[in-house]
Amino acid sequence: MGETRGAGWRAQAARQHGVLGRRQLRDLGVSRATIRAQVSAGRWAWRTGSVLTTTTGPLSWGQRLWVAVLHCGPGSAVGGLSAAAVHGLRGWDRPRVTVLVPGPLSFAPVEGLHVVRTRRPIGTALAPGRLPVWQVEPAVLLFAGYEPSRRTGLAAVAAVVQQRLSTPERLRETLATMHPLRRARDLRALLADLADLPDLAGRGEAAPLALGVPRTGARRAG
């Protein structure tokens, strides 16, 4: 492998926690023979049929995120509680990484990956940075709308406010752009309740669960 080509994949891997996609390697001029040699030597490891790492041990959280989006391909992004965790949400860990993908995309299923197909424009809600990840507001609102447990979904939104990752006002503004969204009525009621509690951040870790259902008892939105 030439010096320039070697520098290319190393720089790309450094930007992505040591994770590289097959398409990226091809674009960087890395041959199949070189890839086979690195894998055979135990320096690289395939993590999916199209994504490898330049490390061979257990994947870190950052590597799991990059494996997920590179496997799903261009146009995908980390979403749901995985995106909220990237933005700092604590206490809501899930075993699988959630990735939002445009509806038509097709790829092999991967263990530990939760794929959410959506017709919503994924690219318009991306947070700044190299990793394609949704902003915390649309990520947690979409999760709340489609999480099977209404209480869990609403509690996650309350947790984002309680942990000062967003505000009821920013969440309300984002909600207004996401029509249609299941449970929108419940979410509006919850955000109104949260806006009336400016000291929420000091109420302790139990606050999100206590506020998981709006006091107004709003009906589930269709």
- Of all residues in the chain, what percent carry a pLDDT higher than 90? 82
Q: What is the pLDDT of residues 11-35, one digit of tens each?
A: 999 999 999 999 999 999 999 999 9
Residue 204 pLDDT > 50: no
* pLDDT at residue number 213: 43
Over the stretch 33-55, which tens digit does the pLDDT of each residue have? Answer: 999 999 999 999 999 999 999 99
Q: What is d(CA 39, CA 157) in angstroms, rounded to the nearest whole number?
A: 43
Q: So what's the pLDDT on residue 151?
A: 97
Average pLDDT over residues 192-209: 64
* Domain ranges across the chain: 3-53, 61-210
